């Protein structure tokens, strides 16, 4: 399969809005480049005021490319740079490896790229100190662990999951939250995504994490209307997806057999709208909220 790669440089002030746009478009994948070795560091530079994001589209997806261009012209004005090229799958899979290195995510999980599993052996020492390795290759799926919403979710999962809990993760992407749930003590994890690439990525990542104790894991291609979502009962529901997707599917979410919800992927300006939406359709009340760089995690109970 061939892809369009868009290398975007834009001001950090519009980065969150751009990420939300990418979440609503059917892009094949994207990741933020946290360190670009090809970019010379300016003298006395402490914090950069711009950010680099690589976006991957199906080569026929002209509409998404147009929407991205319109966004950049509307919100970034002349303060953006866009570079485009056509690539093959293998080029995409190799490109992000340069920028993806082991890092702590949450308090107890050390994320290690799966291609470094054999060459990087920090897990023996880490396990002695209570830190567990989480092996991941995001591939074409969303969920590298770098994004604020993923960090917020994992930090909270570490604190609230009880041993043996049943977890439902809709929009699993790379499967990072499903795996983190299992490593945090869940006894049953059900994960779904409407994107086949994500399902394949999540399945591969789960198999790479052979350090997980015996957990009942089920993975499906599908969305909120899948029987696994509506028939089974769960201790905790996870949704790291945008407010727009949550809002459009709130009636289906309300049917899920759980009293405990954990939402992220919501920008700060949607906080009040989220509260109103959940109060109207889910009932119950806010349990916990946290903000990180204008992104929210909302824990809701009913």
What is the arithmetic mean of pLDDT over 227-254?
A: 93
Report the C-alpha dihedral over residues 118, 116, 182, 27, rounded to 10 degrees: -150
Q: Is residue 261 part of a domain?
A: yes
Top pLDDT among 48 and 201 is at: 201
Q: Are residues 156 and 91 in the same domain?
A: no
69-93: pLDDT as tens digits: 999 999 998 889 999 988 876 666 6
Q: pLDDT value at position 35?
A: 44
**pLDDT above 60 (res 45):** no
Q: Are residues 176 and 77 in the same domain?
A: no
The CATH number of whichever domain residue 176 belongs to comes to 3.40.50.150
Task: Output the DSSP codes for 222-286.
Answer: --TTSHHHHHSB-SEEEEES-HHHHHHTHHHHHTSB-SEEEEEEEEGGGHHHHHHHHHHHT-SEE
Q: Are residues 182 and 240 in the same domain?
A: yes
The CATH number of whichever domain residue 24 belongs to comes to 3.30.70.120
Average pLDDT value for the chain: 85
Q: pLDDT value at position 119?
A: 58
Q: pLDDT value at position 22?
A: 85
**pLDDT above 50 (res 36):** no
Neighbour-count burial for 93-128, b at 16+ CB within 10 Å, e otherwise: bebbeebbeeeebbebbbbbbbebbeeeeebeebee
183-237: pLDDT as tens digits: 999 999 999 998 887 898 899 999 999 888 778 999 999 999 999 898 999 999 9
Range(s) of the domain holding residue 229? 140-301
**pLDDT above 70 (res 257):** yes
Provide the domain count of the chain.
2
Q: pLDDT value at position 42?
A: 43
Q: pLDDT value at position 44?
A: 43
């Amino acid at each position: 399969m061939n892809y369009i790669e868009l290398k975007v440089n834009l001001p950090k002030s519009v980065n969150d809005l751009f990420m939300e746009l990418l979440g609503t478009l059917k892009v094949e994948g994207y990741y933020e480049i946290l360190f670009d070795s090809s970019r010379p560091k300016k003298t006395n530079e402490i914090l950069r005021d711009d950010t680099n994001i690589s976006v991957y589209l199906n080569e026929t997806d002209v509409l998404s490319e147009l929407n991205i261009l319109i966004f950049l012209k509307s919100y970034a004005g002349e303060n953006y740079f866009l570079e485009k090229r056509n690539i093959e799958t293998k080029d995409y899979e190799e490109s992000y490896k340069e920028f993806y290195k082991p890092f702590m995510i949450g308090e107890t999980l050390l994320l290690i790229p799966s291609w470094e599993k054999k060459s990087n052996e920090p897990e023996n020492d880490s396990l002695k100190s209570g830190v567990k390795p989480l092996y991941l290759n995001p591939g074409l799926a969303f969920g590298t662990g770098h994004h604020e919403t993923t960090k917020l979710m994992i930090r909270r999962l570490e604190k609230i999951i009880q041993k043996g809990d049943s977890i439902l993760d809709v929009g699993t992407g790379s499967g990072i939250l499903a795996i983190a749930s299992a490593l945090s003590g869940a006894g049953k994890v059900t994960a779904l995504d409407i994107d086949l690439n994500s399902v394949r990525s999540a399945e591969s990542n789960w198999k790479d994490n052979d350090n997980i104790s015996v957990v009942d894991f089920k993975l499906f291609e599908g969305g909120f209307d899948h029987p696994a979502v509506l028939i089974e009962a769960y201790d905790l529901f996870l949704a790291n997806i945008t407010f727009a997707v949550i809002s459009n599917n709130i009636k289906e979410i309300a049917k899920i057999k759980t009293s405990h919800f954990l939402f992220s992927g919501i920008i700060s300006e949607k906080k009040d709208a989220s509260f109103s939406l959940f109060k109207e359709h889910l009932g119950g009340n806010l349990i916990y909220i946290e903000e990180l760089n204008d992104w929210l995690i909302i824990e809701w109970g009913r």
